[in-house]
């Protein structure tokens, strides 16, 4: 007998798989992908649950290696992890690019008619992986080049169009890489920027979580912590499998230790710990759209799991997922940052 327990790719770590059915040494195998260890979805996890006294095992395999080849693809053993949806988004439904999600340029004439018929536009953009390619470390990403800055400045200065860049980076870091007058910048998923509270308790919680987690990651040379003050990112891009395994267990233990105060967000080759009271990018988007103005059409372009809550919050907007993933709330997709720039150039030309 085979039983499947599919999970969503954006979730937080909670408790181990204690309740998986199984008696004696009979095995229950979860055939469908049920754990995604990174936001870009190029690894699939299959949980093989043994008898009541044995531990489940998470088996990782490549789903698509056309774009990324630096991810380990072997076996992670341990107690296993159970994950649940983030509180600020609904369940992800699987959409095939052949049916539910189409390339943005395929329906361009119809989209442009809709854009031109709307009195006001709000353009929301992610930074890493959307406006610029991803790098091994966040500090390796250079500032936007001059043509892209000019393009964004031209859009931001256009009447009836607001341009927002919402990133998981710190606001000061984002400003250094997106020096675009007229564009509104928000860091930490929208929780650093104009009219955002200081959130002292949440910052103290992250400080304690950093101290707790750092001691458990000692000796892992290819894994590193990024302290964002209001969030804590654990990067494992390029790390060997044993270090990924140890990091997985350390992150699990940290979130369990601070429950229910912390939640976890899967990023591309990273796990990010955030206070449970800090919402996702959807909170920032809805807050900005709530300002009194003319009827507004929201256009949101992003590339990873952190953007999914914003996609879900904009069912009537133009939502675009960037990159290689078959599971998304977005209605359209683009293949990478180059196509994002092409889209922005087309948009500017149509609005001229």
pLDDT tens per residue, the chain (352 residues)? Answer: 433 333 333 333 333 333 333 333 333 333 333 333 333 344 434 333 333 344 444 444 434 333 333 333 333 333 333 333 333 333 333 343 434 789 999 999 999 999 999 999 999 999 999 999 998 888 899 999 999 999 999 999 999 999 999 999 999 999 999 999 999 999 989 988 877 777 888 889 989 999 999 888 888 889 989 888 888 889 998 899 999 999 999 998 899 989 898 888 887 788 989 888 887 899 899 989 987 678 899 999 999 888 999 999 999 999 999 998 778 999 999 999 999 999 999 999 999 8
- 215-220 long-range contacts (CB < 8 A, ≥24 apart) are 216/250, 216/253, 216/254, 217/246, 217/247, 217/250, 220/246, 220/247
Q: What pLDDT, on the 0 to 100 scale, is given for residue 155?
A: 97
pLDDT confidence of residue 106 = 94
Cα gap 208→261, rounded to integer Å: 12
Report DSSP state, residue 182.
T
Question: Mind listing the domains of the chain with CATH numbers?
Answer: 102-196+279-351 (3.40.50.1000)
> What stretches of the chain adopt beta strand conformation (E)?
11-13, 28-29, 43-49, 57-62, 75-77, 83-85, 102-103, 120-125, 161-166, 184-186, 224-227, 232-235, 262-267, 270-275, 296-302, 318-322, 332-334
Tokens (6 digits) for 37: 């260890």
Cβ pair 124, 300 in contact under 8 A: yes
Look at residue 292 in the predicted model and tell me its pLDDT. Answer: 67
Distance, in Å, from the CA atom of 330 to the CA atom of 328, rounded to the nearest integer, reads 5
Q: Which of helix, strand or coil describes residue 295? A: coil
């Amino acid at each position: 007998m085979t039983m499947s327990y599919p999970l969503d790719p954006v979730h937080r770590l909670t408790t181990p798989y204690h309740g998986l059915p199984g008696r004696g040494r009979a095995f229950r195998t979860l055939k469908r992908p049920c754990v995604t260890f990174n936001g870009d979805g190029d690894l699939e996890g299959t949980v093989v649950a043994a008898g009541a006294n044995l531990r489940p095992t998470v088996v990782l395999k490549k789903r698509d290696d056309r774009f990324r080849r630096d991810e380990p693809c072997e076996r992670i053993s341990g107690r296993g992890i159970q994950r649940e949806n983030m509180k600020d988004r609904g369940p992800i439904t699987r959409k095939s690019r052949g049916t539910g999600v189409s390339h943005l340029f395929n329906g361009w004439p119809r989209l442009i008619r809709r854009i031109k018929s709307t009195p006001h536009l709000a353009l929301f953009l992610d930074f890493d992986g959307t406006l610029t390619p991803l790098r091994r470390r966040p500090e390796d990403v250079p500032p936007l080049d001059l043509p892209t800055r000019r393009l964004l400045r031209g859009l931001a200065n256009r009447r009836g169009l607001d341009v927002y860049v919402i990133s998981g980076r710190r606001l000061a870091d984002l400003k250094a890489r997106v020096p675009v007058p007229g564009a509104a910048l928000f860091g930490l998923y929208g929780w650093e920027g104009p009219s955002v509270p200081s959130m002292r308790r949440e910052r103290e919680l992250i400080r304690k979580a950093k101290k707790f987690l750092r001691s458990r990651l000692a000796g892992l040379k290819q894994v590193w912590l990024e302290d964002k003050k209001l969030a804590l990112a654990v990067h494992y891009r390029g790390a060997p499998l044993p270090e990924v395994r140890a990091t997985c267990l350390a992150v699990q233990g940290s979130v369990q230790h601070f429950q229910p105060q912390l939640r976890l967000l899967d990023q591309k080759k990273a796990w990010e710990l955030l206070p449970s009271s800090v919402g996702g990018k959807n909170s920032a988007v809805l807050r900005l759209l709530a300002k009194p103005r003319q009827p507004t059409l929201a256009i949101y372009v992003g590339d990873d799991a952190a953007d999914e809550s914003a996609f879900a919050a904009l069912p009537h907007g133009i939502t675009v997922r960037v990159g290689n993933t078959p599971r998304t709330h977005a209605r359209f997709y683009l293949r990478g940052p180059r196509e994002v720039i092409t889209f922005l150039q087309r948009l500017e030309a149509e609005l001229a």
